[in-house]
Amino acid sequence: MQITYLPLHTRYRYGFKDSFEEGMKEGIIKGKAEGKVEGRIEGERQLLHKLIEIKYHEDCVTWLQALTEEQMQIVSTLLLECDTFESLRKRLHKSDKK
3-state SS string for the chain: CCCCCCCHHHHHHHHHHHHHHHHHHHHHHHHHHHHHHHHHHHHHHHHHHHHHHHHHCCCCHHHHHCCCHHHHHHHHHHHHHCCCHHHHHHHHHHHHHC
**Predicted pLDDT of residue 33:** 86
Residues of the chain with pLDDT under 70: 1-17, 98
| Residue in 46, 58, 51 with CA at minimum distance from that of residue 86 | 58
**Predicted pLDDT of residue 11:** 53
Cα first-last separation, the chain: 75
**Predicted pLDDT of residue 31:** 87
**Predicted pLDDT of residue 65:** 95
pLDDT in tens, 73-95: 999 999 999 999 999 999 999 98
